[in-house]
C-alpha cells in the first residue's frame, strides 16, 4: 500500500484534490490529508496544493512547521505542486509587497497587472480564470495520454517567470506566454488545477499516481 | 487569445432536489443533483452553479450533502449560492467540495462581509451575485440599481458603483443577473453586461433572459461577458451544452471542446 500525502496547511479547498486522487487511484493507494511533518516524511508521494495569497501561504507553512518536510519531500519523492503550491516553490513572489518563498527553483512570481491588456489592446480580466491551453514544451511522463494544447482550469492573478528554461514543462498564453508548468527530477508543478480540469486533469493525476519520479 | 469563454448551467436545488429538472433520456431521476451534474459534465459544461432555493434554513444542511456528493464525482469547478450569510456558511460549503461561493443578499446588507470572506478564503472562491434592474426610462441613458427579494425591493444602490466596490473588496468574479430579463427568454441585457464588464477588473458572468443559442453568443460578443449562465434552455432539453459550444465556435467564440 502506497500513501499519497496531501499537504494541509489551512490554505483553501483541499477536498477536491483528495476526491480527484481517490477517483484515479485504486486499492493500492491511500490518500492522506495531513498537516503532520512526520506523516509527510513517511509518505510515498506528496501533493502540495494551495490557494490564496503567497504571504499567507508562506506564513501558514511556517506556522504548521512544514517548511523542512516540504523541502525534503520535494528533494526525494514524486512531488506534485498545484497552483499556489507551485508558486511558493520559487524563490520570490511580488505578491504582498514581496514575499520570500521556498526557493527550491529560481524565478519570480509576478502580477498580471491592473488595466491588463493583450498586445492588440484588448482588456484581459484579472484573475485569469477559466479553461486555457497548456503547451507541452518538453516531454514528461506526466503528459502521458494528454494531448499537447489541452485545456486546464486556471484561476490566478500572479504568474511564474521562470529563470531557467530547462525548468519549463508547459506554457500558457494570457496576454503574455507564461510558465504554467515546471518539472525537474521528481518534482512536477502546475499553475492550473488538475483536480478541476475534467478528463485532462484526471489523466494527469492518474499519471502522477503511477509515476516513478523520474523525468 | 486562448482562454475559453465559459458556459455554465445553473441548477436550482430545493431541499436536496433539482427543480425544473433535466429531461435527458439517460437520466432516471430528473431531480437527482448528482445525475444532473454528471450529465452536464459529460456534455462539456465548463462549470456548474448550484443555487439553493430551500425556503427553510433548517434544511440548509441538505445542500452540504448535495455538494459533497457532486464533488466526489464531477471534476469541474462548482459554485454554490443561496442563503450564504456567515463566514461559517462559506467554510462549510468549501469543506464539502465547492470551489466558489456566491454571495448575494448578504453582500447588499453588509458589504464588508465580502471583504472579510475574500480575506479569509481568497478572492478566487468569492463570487458576488448582483441582481440588477433598469431604473431609467428606455429613451434615457441606461441606469441600473441593485434589487433584492427576487427583484421586488429596490436598494437605491447604483449597479456600476456597486460592482466597482465589490471588485475593490476582493470579489473574484461577478455573477450579473438582469432582473428585467430573468425568465423572459428574450436575451441578456447586453448593454448592462458590457458596462459592468468594462468597469471592473474581474470576470463577469452574464445571466437572465436566455431563450436560444444566439442569446448566449450575444452575451459574449455584445455583452463582453467572460462566461454565460443559463438554466431553462438546458434543463428542458431544448439544447445541449455541446450544441451551445458548436454554435458559439461557429461565431468565432473560443470555447473548450477538447
Task: Please state the domain extents for chain A.
Answer: 2-209
Any domain includes B258: no
Contact A153/B76, CB-based, under 8 Å? yes
Q: Do A129 and B173 count as a contact with CB atoms less than 8 A apart?
A: yes
Q: pLDDT band for position B128 (50/70/90)?
A: very high
Q: Count structural domains, chain B.
A: 1
Lowest mean pLDDT among A115-119, A207-211, B7-11, B240-244: A115-119
Asked, as a colleague might, if the bond just before A127 is cis with ω within 30 of 0, I would say: yes
Name every chain B residue with its beta carbon within 8 A of the beta carbon of A123.
198
CATH at B226: 3.20.20.70
For residue A5, the model assigns a pLDDT of 98
Residue B69 confidence (pLDDT) above 70: yes
Report residue B237's pLDDT band, with 50, 70 and 90 as the boundaries: confident
Residue B145 falls inside a structural domain: yes
To the nearest whole angstrom, how far is the Cα of B76 from the nearest Cα of chain A?
4
Q: How many CB atoms lie within 10 A of CB B169?
A: 20
Tell me whether B172 touches chain A (CB under 8 Å). yes
- Percent above pLDDT 90 for chain A: 90
User: Using the 8-state DSSP alphabet, how is residue A167 labeled?
Assistant: G
pLDDT of residue B30: 77
**How far A81 CA sits from the closest chain B CA (Å)?**
18
Residue B1 covered by a domain: no
For residue A151, list chain B residues with Cβ-Cβ distance below 8 A.
Answer: 4, 256, 258
Q: How far is A1 from chain B (nearest CA, A)?
A: 22
Judged by CB atoms closer than 8 Å, whether chains meet at A147 and B46 is answered as no
| CATH number of this structure's domain A2-209, picked from the four choices 3.40.50.300, 3.40.50.880, 3.90.1150.10, 3.90.228.20 | 3.40.50.880
Residue A86's pLDDT band, with cuts at 50, 70 and 90, is: very high
Q: What pLDDT, on a 0 to 100 scale, did the predictor assign at position B174?
A: 98
Q: What is the ipTM of this complex?
A: 0.95
Mean pLDDT (chain A) is 95
**pLDDT (average), residues A162-170:** 96
Whether residue B75 lies within 8 A of chain A, CB to CB, comes out as yes
> Which of A101, A128, A156, A195 does the annotation list as catalytic?
A195
Q: Mean pLDDT throughout A52-80?
A: 95
Whether residue A51 is predicted with pLDDT greater than 90 in this model: the reply is no
Q: What does the pLDDT average to over A46-52?
A: 92
Looking at residue B146, its pLDDT comes to: 97
Q: Which residues of A touch B (CB under 8 A)?
A: 12-13, 15-16, 19-20, 23, 51-53, 114, 116, 118, 122-123, 125-133, 147, 149-151, 153-157, 172-174, 195-198, 200-202
For residue B242, being part of any structural domain is answered with yes
CA quadruple B135, B139, B140, B143: dihedral sign: positive
Is residue A128 annotated as part of the catalytic site, yes or no?
no
Pairing status of strand B100-103 against strand B126-134 = parallel
CA distance A188 to chain B (A): 20
- Give the model's pLDDT for residue B137: 92
**Distance from C-alpha of A191 to C-alpha of A137, rounded to nearest angstrom:** 15
Active site (annotated) includes residue A57 = no
Indicate the range of A155-164, B129-138, B228-237 predicted with least confidence.
B228-237
Q: What is the pLDDT of residues B15-52, one digit of tens each?
A: 999 987 566 666 667 789 999 999 999 999 999 999 99
Task: List the beta bridge partners of residue B178.
Answer: B132
Q: How confident is the model at residue A48 (pLDDT cuts 50, 70, 90)?
A: very high
Residue B55's CB: how many other CB atoms inside 10 A? 9
Say which residue, A13 or B65, is predicted with more confidence. B65
Chain-chain contact of A12 with B121 (C-beta, under 8 angstroms): yes
Suggest the residue from A54, A196, A198 to mutate for an interface test with chain B (most B CBs closer than 10 A).
A198
Catalytic residue among A128, A140, A193, A210: A193
Of A173, A174, A196, the CB nearest to B76: A196
Question: pLDDT at position B258, please?
Answer: 59
Range of the domain at B128: 6-250
**B238 is a domain residue:** yes
Amino acid at each position: 500500500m502506497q500513501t499519497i500525502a496531501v499537504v494541509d496547511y489551512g490554505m483553501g479547498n483541499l477536498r477536491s484534490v483528495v476526491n480527484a486522487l481517490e477517483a484515479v487511484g485504486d486499492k493500492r493507494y491511500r490518500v492522506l490529508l495531513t498537516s503532520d511533518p512526520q506523516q509527510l516524511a513517511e509518505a510515498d508521494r506528496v501533493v502540495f496544493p494551495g490557494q490564496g495569497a503567497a504571504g499567507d501561504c508562506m506564513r501558514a507553512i511556517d506556522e504548521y512547521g512544514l517548511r523542512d518536510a516540504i523541502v525534503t519531500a520535494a528533494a526525494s519523492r514524486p512531488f506534485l505542486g498545484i497552483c499556489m503550491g507551485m508558486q511558493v516553490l520559487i524563490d520570490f513572489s511580488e505578491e504582498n509587497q514581496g514575499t520570500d518563498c521556498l526557493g527550491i527553483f529560481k524565478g519570480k512570481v509576478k502580477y498580471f497587472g491592473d488595466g491588463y491588456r493583450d498586445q492588440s489592446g484588448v482588456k484581459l480580466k484579472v484573475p485569469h480564470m477559466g479553461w486555457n491551453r497548456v503547451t507541452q514544451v518538453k516531454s514528461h511522463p506526466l503528459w502521458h495520454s494528454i494531448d499537447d494544447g489541452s485545456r486546464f482550469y486556471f484561476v490566478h492573478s500572479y504568474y511564474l517567470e521562470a529563470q531557467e528554461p530547462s525548468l519549463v514543462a508547459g506554457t500558457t498564453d494570457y496576454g503574455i506566454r507564461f510558465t504554467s508548468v515546471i518539472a525537474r527530477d521528481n518534482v512536477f508543478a502546475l499553475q492550473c488545477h488538475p483536480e478541476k480540469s475534467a478528463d485532462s486533469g484526471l489523466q494527469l493525476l492518474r499519471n502522477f499516481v503511477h509515476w516513478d519520479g523520474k523525468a | 487569445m486562448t482562454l475559453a469563454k465559459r458556459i455554465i448551467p445553473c441548477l436550482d436545488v430545493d431541499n436536496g432536489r433539482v427543480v425544473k429538472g433535466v429531461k435527458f433520456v439517460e437520466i432516471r431521476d430528473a431531480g437527482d443533483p448528482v445525475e444532473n451534474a454528471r450529465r452536464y459534465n459529460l456534455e462539456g459544461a465548463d462549470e456548474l452553479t448550484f443555487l439553493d432555493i430551500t425556503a427553510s434554513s433548517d434544511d440548509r444542511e441538505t445542500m452540504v450533502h448535495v455538494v459533497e456528493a457532486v464533488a466526489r464525482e464531477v471534476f469541474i469547478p462548482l459554485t454554490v449560492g443561496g442563503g450564504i450569510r456567515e463566514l461559517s456558511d462559506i467554510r462549510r460549503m468549501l469543506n464539502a467540495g465547492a470551489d466558489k461561493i456566491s454571495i448575494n443578499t448578504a453582500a447588499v446588507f453588509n458589504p464588508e462581509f465580502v471583504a472579510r470572506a475574500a480575506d479569509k478564503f481568497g478572492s478566487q472562491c468569492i463570487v458576488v451575485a448582483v441582481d440588477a434592474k433598469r431604473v431609467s426610462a428606455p429613451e434615457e441613458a441606461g441606469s441600473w440599481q441593485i434589487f433584492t427579494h427576487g427583484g421586488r425591493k429596490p436598494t437605491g444602490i447604483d449597479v456600476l458603483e456597486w460592482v466597482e466596490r465589490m471588485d475593490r473588496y476582493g470579489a473574484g468574479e461577478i455573477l450579473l443577473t438582469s432582473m428585467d430579463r430573468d425568465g423572459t427568454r428574450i436575451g441578456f441585457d447586453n448593454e448592462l453586461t458590457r458596462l459592468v464588464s468594462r468597469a471592473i477588473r474581474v470576470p463577469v458572468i452574464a445571466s437572465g433572459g436566455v431563450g436560444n443559442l444566439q442569446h448566449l453568443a450575444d452575451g459574449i460578443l455584445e455583452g463582453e461577458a467572460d462566461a454565460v449562465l443559463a438554466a431553462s434552455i438546458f434543463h428542458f432539453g431544448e439544447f445541449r451544452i455541446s450544441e451551445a459550444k458548436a454554435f458559439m465556435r461557429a461565431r468565432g467564440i473560443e470555447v473548450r471542446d477538447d
